[in-house]
Chains A and B, each alone.
Chain A
């Protein structure tokens, strides 16, 4: 063991044992962030804060929630909402938070796509980010089921039924996942476990990994410029703060994040106090009934686009049933973003508006996602079904075309 001198102060005593000085340097005061990044780069900090809010409000809900099909509905809608002082507050923070966290994830994701932050050396950041997106989806879905309302029940029914589409083992797999032949008590209790323990643990691990993977290629910037972080950091430390292209995370950069966070939290609590109902479907205030399907089932807004891709295929093509086509397209839609770094074959790291072809692709993709989201909520009949089919097909075509578009772009730019 190293030799310890008597400490002159409490701070020194801890510093000798835990290396606080060094830790603060590595994590905060000498963690370098580029100067030219805009408010869209604050989404990571927003998400960290949102996750914390969800964990804390979740802990308070956990004290009164009962994971039992006979008690779950009342424990939420009566005990937490009526009896527990401020129970409504924690429920609304949790419900609105679950919805808003997806809004921020999408902004975070599309910022990454717009500025090419998934490319050249940043692949692991992108992949760990998409892993987080999938974990958050599983977390959101498993939590949605817990209040045991009609929409919760049928969402769970339909989503678990999707696994039935897997060849050979599908039918048995569905029963295994549910722990019964239908969505029952066993399903509720295991989803409860997933929602409050296993998935949050996995999310925490993935967040740590996401931050870690960021340390090597460093944060991208608005211009997509590559520079030597060590050199710029030296300039900063030598006092040439003006010419250095970087600032320390703490306190300089975070002050900007806090500014964005301040605005965000005003918006968030405005929703929590005055517009919480957007995160609560009226159908979910009917208790779950396994023998009565609501006339029209749809997921929360953040899953509508992939839901529409799933149901957009309503007829047979080349002998493959609409159901199978939908499942294949759904699988494709959920996995394709993961391989973005390899679909984009242009080496250019530039914001989309400076890329001759990619800019059209990007905005088309956003527009298509909006159409899918809009029509995902409408009943899939008549012309709606055709719009849904068209938008689902467009989604697939866009991603299949991406490697060719970006290859052509690389050629064009290279020839300049």
Chain B
């Protein structure tokens, strides 16, 4: 009698273990089926020639489907340490153009030199710091590398790393 009980118990546990392994394996497979495809992950570089840009006029490039704001500074606009980048003789803001609140695209107001997100009223300065409304942090900076007068989006250059080091310290 004892023998039978323990045999049944063993078979029960063994069955449970097999089922658990199968269950976990299928959950992993399901999770990974939803992951972005390899082709999506690898389509990651965009190059922009910034030498021809007009000062105080917003240029929007596309990187990984996201709008990237590139703003050339006028002479009287002060560069910010850790948020402005010098390419050639001019300073620029390079930022992911998605409001850090819920991801709308803010518009640039040339006359007031600021970004305003119409959706929820968030406002940012020309270098992307939030100045009003619900956005919790400044506009994100995409990984970039400076190659002469071209900007390579998607690659982490020394200027980008220096900026991130500053942001980490802040």
A interface residue numbers (CB < 8 A to B): 154, 157-158, 161-162, 164, 175-182, 184, 186, 190, 290-293, 295-297, 311, 313-315, 321-324, 326, 379-381, 385
Main SS of chain B's interface residues? loop
Contact A314 B103 (CB under 8 A): no
Interface pair B120/A380, CB less than 8 Å apart: yes
Residue of B nearest to A316 (CB): B136
Does B104 lie within 8 Å of A311, measured CB to CB?
A: no
Q: How far is the CA of A344 from the CA of B120 in the complex (A)?
A: 34
Which residue of B64, B105, B133 contacts A293 across the interface (Cβ within 8 Å)?
B105
Contact B36 A293 (CB under 8 A): no
- What residues on B are CB-neighbors of A178 within 8 Å? 36
A181 engages B104 (CB within 8 Å): no
A179-B35, A179-B37, A180-B36 known; A291 vs B120 contact (CB < 8 Å): no
Nearest A residue to B134, CB-CB: A322
Q: Which of B60, B65, B134, B137 has the most CB of A within 10 A?
A: B134
A375 vs chain B, min Cβ distance (A): 13
Closest 4 CB pairs of A and B: A321-B136, A182-B65, A322-B134, A161-B103
Hey, which chain A residues are within 8 Å of B105, CB to CB? 291-293
Pair count A-B, CB < 8 A? 88
- A175 / chain B contacts, CB cutoff of 8 Å: 36
Q: Which of B67, B120, B121 has the most CB of A within 10 A?
A: B120
Task: Judge if B18 is at the interface, Cβ distance under 8 Å.
Answer: no
Q: Known interface pairs A291-B105, A311-B120, A380-B121. Does A181 touch B134 (Cβ–Cβ under 8 Å)?
A: no
Complex-state Cα separation, A370 to B134, whole angstroms: 23
CB-based contact B133/A314 at 8 Å: yes
Residues 51-73 of B, flagged 1 when their CB comes within 8 A of A and 0 if not, give 00000000010101111000000
CA distance A292 to B104 in the complex (A): 9
In the assembled complex, the Cα of A186 lies from the Cα of B65 at a distance in Å of 13
The contact of A313 among B64, B119, B134, by CB within 8 Å, is B134
Is the pair A181, B136 in contact by a Cβ cutoff of 8 Å? no
Q: Which of A190, A293, A322 has the most CB of B within 10 A?
A: A293
Residue of chain A at shortest CB distance from B67: A291
> Is B118 interfacial (CB 8 A cutoff)?
yes
A84–B62 Cα distance when bound, in Å, is 37
Is B15 in the interface zone, CB < 8 Å from A? Answer: no
CB distance from B59 to the nearest CB of A (A): 12
Q: Are B119 and A314 in contact (CB under 8 A)?
A: no
**Chain A min CB distance to B154 (Å):** 11
Cα(A314)–Cα(B136), bound, Å? 10
8 additional contacts, CB 8 Å, given A157-B104, A178-B36, A190-B34?
A: A158-B119, A180-B36, A180-B40, A181-B40, A293-B118, A323-B135, A380-B120, A380-B121
Q: B113-154 interface mask toward A, CB cutoff 8 Å, 1 = contact, 0 = none? A: 000001111000000000001111100000000000000000
The docked-state distance in angstroms from the alpha carbon of A322 to that of B135 is 7
Least Cβ–Cβ distance between B124 and chain A, in angstroms: 14
Bound-state CA distance A392–B105 (Å) is 25
B90 at the interface (CB under 8 A from A): no
Complexed CA–CA distance, A293 and B102 (Å): 12
Please determine whether B103 and A158 come into contact, CB atoms closer than 8 angstroms: yes
| A321 to B120 alpha-carbon distance, docked (Å) | 14
Contacts of B65 in A (CB 8 A): 180-182, 184, 290
24 CB < 8 A contacts A-B: A154-B104, A157-B103, A158-B102, A158-B103, A158-B104, A164-B103, A175-B36, A176-B31, A179-B37, A180-B65, A186-B40, A291-B105, A296-B118, A297-B104, A313-B134, A321-B136, A321-B137, A322-B135, A323-B100, A323-B101, A324-B136, A326-B134, A380-B121, A385-B121
B134 touches A182 (CB 8 A): no
Q: Which residue of B lies closest to A385 (CB)?
A: B121
Contact A291:B60 (CB < 8 A) given known A157-B103, A180-B65: yes
CA distance A292 to B106 in the complex (A): 9
Residues of chain A with a CB closer than 8 A to B103's CB: 157-158, 161, 164
A184: nearest chain-B partner, CB-CB: B65
Within the assembled complex, what's the spacing in Å between the Cα atoms of A387 and B66? 33
- Per the bound structure, the CA–CA distance linking A351 and B160 in Å amounts to 64
Inter-subunit contact B37/A181 (CB<8 Å): no
Nearest-neighbor residue (CB-CB) of B120 within chain A: A311
